[in-house]
Amino acid sequence: MGKLLSTILFVTITVSVFSQQNKIDSLKQILHNYSDQDTLKISALIQISNAINTINTDSALVYADKAIKLSENINWATGLATSYRQKGLVFYYKSDYLSALMFSQRALGYTKRADSKLLEASIYSNIGNIYADIEDFDKALESYEKLLKIARQVKSIQDQLIALVNIAVVHTEQGNLYEAVKMYHSSLKLAEDHNLDTFIPTICNNLSKSYINLSENDKATEYLNVGIEKAIELKNLYVLAILKRNLADIYLKENNLEKAESLLLESISLSKSNNTLEWEAQSLKTLYQVYEKQDQVKKAYDIYKKYIVLRDSIVDGDKKAEFLKRDLTFENDKNQALANTEIERQKLIKKGTIIGGSGFILVSLIGFVLYYRKQNADALKQEAEFNAKVSDTELKALRAQMNPHFIFNALNSINDFIVKNDAESASKYLTKFAKIMRQTLENSIQKEITLADDLKLLELYMQIEAMRLSNKFTFIFEVDNQIDAEKTLVPPLILQPFIENSIWHGISKKEGIGHINISIKKENDMLVCIVEDNGVGLQNKASNKNKISLGQSITKKRIEIINKRKNTKGTVELINKEEGLRVEVKLPFQLAY
């Protein structure tokens, strides 16, 4: 999933952003002077957290937690709503979507007691941003429109601006680029006319992305530079890191590699200081591409290793966000039911004179509503658990396709070429390795790709493994004439685990040169994919059985999911031969159009 915060505006309506150190110091003085647990002290804590959020997220979280504790002590609903909203914002800046959504939802519940429509609208906006990041754009628009409606009612220019920009973001993501550009320019003028400078860097970044998509790089560069200048003036290091990385992307496309490298190094440094891992990972990936273009093999190798480590450290967070995307409806209904129950309970206490019969009817009605909600929630939870299983299987499949052993061994092979001063071989190997990693990452978000693309990726993978084994095996692809590989769809790299087993547990243990044959044919409404080798096979090879069972297990789970979704009967079968192994994978035959 690609994160959109570079394009999204978060709202904090009841507190001001004090970026200057003297403002922070004055707020800290308020904390020192007020030992009592009162609303002024809570507001100061929230304001400090917000002021340092783009500088030090860990410290910002400490101040938000203190504000929550004091608000609980004095039972101040507005303080709780604002504190939890701030805590959600901190976790968003830390790239922890799961926690950001959880605390934003909690803040939304407290707005019912606080009775502040503008505060409620600000939280809807923040939730909309997270929906946008997990690419549920319909729900994101729904949240932004709630903000816009309230902002117009109370005549809040700032919040109208935020709503318009975020709606424009969704237009950009959906490909309505001219509409997005028009809205961004209106938003930029609104910000300039009303001295809302804090929004200008983000709006400029948004505008630049739309111009890039329209292939107008000169205008994109112009607005990125405007944004950088304003971000430096405001000391907004978080957005500054994003702006510099995006400008580096343009310079990379224009082959201005020195400027691109300089900007990316600055962006990486800023991302580290902000502890924003995702931005740092994206900058490292682009910097690797710069060094690759410069033929700086050693630097490219070192940067790519750092990128892989950082990417793997945040992959679980992405998985949680995907699960939460599917489960959020259930959580929202549950929280709303609890909030409504609390409101009804308070009403019952205040209206103690209600006669027993009426009270019984009301309680029964509430019980029925809660029971009905629980039934729906249980159904939604079961669906969410199945979807979580799907996500988990897909993640395992990706890891099985490009497992850490393959990555480690490939990088070691590159390093070996470098040590031997074989720069030409290192460069060729690195280029192939970069292509396969990039294509694998891109394909990992697709449920299906064309057979032609999948076979190209498998061929590249086998070329790399052949280089590592000093051409110990040959291979061939055979596709039946009645199959149009450009139109036929298959799950990405579903054959890769079996090819890997053929290479490393069949042919590598064989004396002499081995051969792998991959054939694709059509039988009725099924696509039959066959991987056949002349290796040592499975006879008396317990360790090989375990290895193949792992790939078979993951592939079977993927096919089970396909069967359930499409009501088909896909299968996996392993056939031991006198010499070697034959694997047959049957999938539903599907055309792209």
Domain extents in the chain: 1-174, 316-445, 450-457+468-588
Distance of CA 520 to the CA centre of its chain: 34
Domain spanning 450-457+468-588: CATH 3.40.50.10420 = no
Give the mean pLDDT of the chain.
77
Which pLDDT score is estimated for 68?
A: 93
> What is the Cβ-side half-sphere exposure of residue 300, based on CA atoms within 13 angstroms?
23
Burial class of residue 31, CB neighbours in 10 A (0-12, 13-18, 19+): middle
Which pLDDT score is estimated for 478?
A: 94
Instruction: State the DSSP code for 512.
Output: S
Residues 6+ apart with CB under 8 A from 135: 1, 173, 325
Which pLDDT score is estimated for 488?
A: 92
Cβ atoms within 10 Å of 447's Cβ, excluding its own:
14
Alpha-carbon distances, residue 104 vs 93, 116, 123, 309, 321 (angstroms)? 13, 15, 6, 30, 14
1-174 — its CATH code?
1.25.40.10
Paired tokens of 327: 């489960």
Which pLDDT score is estimated for 153?
A: 87
Phi, psi of 354 (to 5 degrees): -60, 135
Cβ atoms within 10 Å of 511's Cβ, excluding its own:
6
Which pLDDT score is estimated for 404?
A: 54
Distance between CA atoms of 288 and 297, rounded to whole angstroms?
A: 10
Distance between CA atoms of 338 and 198, rounded to whole angstroms?
A: 37
Which pLDDT score is estimated for 259?
A: 94
Instruction: State the DSSP code for 295.
Output: T
Distance between CA atoms of 45 and 70, rounded to whole angstroms?
A: 10
257-274 vs 277-293: helix crossing angle, rounded to 10:
160
What is the DSSP secondary-structure string of 527-589?
A: EEEEEEE-S-TTTT-HHHHHHHHHHHHHHHHHHHHHHHHHT---EEEEEE-SSSEEEEEEEE-
Q: What is the mean pLDDT of each run of 10 residues along the chain (593 residues)?
A: 42 37 62 67 86 80 92 91 92 82 88 82 86 80 87 86 87 86 90 89 90 92 95 89 93 94 94 82 90 88 85 57 44 48 50 48 54 55 51 47 58 71 77 79 75 90 85 92 90 86 85 93 92 80 46 74 80 88 91 75
Paired tokens of 100: 């950001």
Is the CB of residue 5 less than 8 Å from the CB of residue 133? yes
Distance between CA atoms of 73 and 67, rounded to whole angstroms?
A: 10
Distance between CA atoms of 218 and 213, rounded to whole angstroms?
A: 12
Which pLDDT score is estimated for 5?
A: 36
In 3D space, the residue among 13, 14, 5, 242 whose CA is nearest the CA of residue 131 turns out to be 5
Local structure of 508: helix, strand or coil: coil
> In sequence order, what E strands does 411-501 have?
449-450, 473-479, 489-490
The side-by-side arrangement of strands in the sheet containing 473-479 is 473-479, 514-523, 526-533, 581-588, 571-576
Distance between CA atoms of 42 and 69, rounded to whole angstroms?
A: 9
217-234 vs 237-253: helix crossing angle, rounded to 10:
160
Q: Is the dihedral of CA 213, 214, 220, 223 positive or negative?
A: negative
Distance between CA atoms of 9 and 363, rounded to whole angstroms?
A: 42
Distance between CA atoms of 17 and 23, rounded to whole angstroms?
A: 9
Which pLDDT score is estimated for 49?
A: 87
Which pLDDT score is estimated for 19?
A: 40
Distance between CA atoms of 170 and 144, rounded to whole angstroms?
A: 10
Instruction: Please state whether 2 falls in left (phi above 0), alpha (psi between -120 and 50) or beta.
Output: beta
In the block, which residue shows the tokens 């804590």? Answer: 45
pTM of the model: 0.45
Per residue, what are the HEC states of 111-145?
HHHHCCHHHHHHHHHHHHHHHHHCCCHHHHHHHHH
